Amino acid sequence: MKLLHLGKPTEGDEFFYKRWETFGKVFKSLSEAANSVNEIEVVILDQYTIFDDQHLNIFPRLKYIISPTTGHTHLQYSQEKFSGDCLTLKGETEFLSGITTVADFTIYLMLRLAREVGPYPISLKGKKLGILGMGRIGKHVAERAITMGMEVKEFDKGHNQYYLKGLFISCDFISVHLEENEHTKWMVSKSLLYNMKPTAYFINTARGSIVNESALMNALIKKKIQGAAVDVRESHYYLNSRTPNLIITDHIAGRALEDRIETDEFMVTKLKENLLHTIRKQTEMF
């Protein structure tokens, strides 16, 4: 079996490529695999790598697309054109319950905003935090914020837009942890941002498309809000890293070494189990 790994290597992980050699030869780039594209059966991706129909055409023998992510926006191929299996972390709730890196990073950004961005450092104790999306990460953020003495308010399925507006009006911090879909695109609108306190902070570690980034930039420039921190952007056009009350990181919230290793090892095991299941089915046929 030949594999192509298009993921961004995790710094400090000496087995990043080697752990996949259990299955066969691993190519580390498309150019390295140029003479073997007809033999590639497994492609491994991450959230930074777009995979579409053009890629499917390159690999006629492709059986597995593997992406150790919960989001699928980078998987842009037509499902009807791929007869193999796509293995991701979506739905792996038991495993993901122990992966807390994004929540930790969210608190880190909150602390940076509180200490570095405003006119003077402030404490998080006693501040009101509005969390948009109470899935795994939202719950992890809430747990950490409560231990720091913050008052947590949540917005999730079942809440309406009036309630959401109330959160933006009353909270000192807003943190986004929503899933990206047609219902959440630009959910954080100009109206919501402009209703925040002038002393409030906004954080997004979910998906850039959930926020009207032009409105966020204007809110920062016009001092409608005190500051913001984003780890994800839909476009690099609107949010400028030179803006003094804006912290920008490059989609690194989930890239802590330990969690990345644990996640990759989980995906290796998932592929092994899938291959064994396929072999058993083929054996039962004879």
**pLDDT tens, position by position, 50-66:** 999 999 999 999 999 99
CA distances from 84 to 13, 35, 62, 284 (A): 29, 22, 7, 20
What pLDDT is attached to residue 72?
87
Instruction: Write down the mean pLDDT value for the chain.
Output: 95
Which pTM was predicted?
0.89
**What whole-number percentage of the chain has pLDDT above 70?**
99
Model confidence at 212: pLDDT above 90: yes
Local confidence band at 190 (pLDDT 50, 70, 90 cut-offs): very high
Model confidence at 285: pLDDT above 90: no
What pLDDT is attached to residue 182?
87
Neighbours of 215 (CB within 10 A): 19
pLDDT in tens, 27-53: 999 999 999 999 999 999 998 899 999
What pLDDT is attached to residue 286?
59
Q: What phi and psi values does residue 208 have, to the nearest 5 degrees?
A: -60, -35
Closest by Cα among 58, 44, 41 to 8:
44
Local confidence band at 71 (pLDDT 50, 70, 90 cut-offs): confident
Model confidence at 245: pLDDT above 80: yes
Q: Which amino acid is at 188?
A: V
Local confidence band at 236 (pLDDT 50, 70, 90 cut-offs): confident
Model confidence at 284: pLDDT above 80: no
Model confidence at 23: pLDDT above 80: yes
Closest by Cα among 91, 75, 183 to 136:
91
Q: Tokens at residue 172, please?
A: 């000192």
pLDDT in tens, 191-206: 999 999 999 999 999 9
Q: Residue 230 in contact with residue 247, Cβ under 8 Å?
A: yes
CA–CA separation, 231 and 102 (whole Å): 10
Q: Residue 243 in contact with residue 220, Cβ under 8 Å?
A: yes
* Alpha helices (H) along 15-92: 53-58
Q: Residue 159 in contact with residue 132, Cβ under 8 Å?
A: no
What pLDDT is attached to residue 24?
97
pLDDT in tens, 75-126: 999 999 999 999 999 999 999 999 999 999 999 999 999 999 999 999 999 9
Model confidence at 175: pLDDT above 90: yes
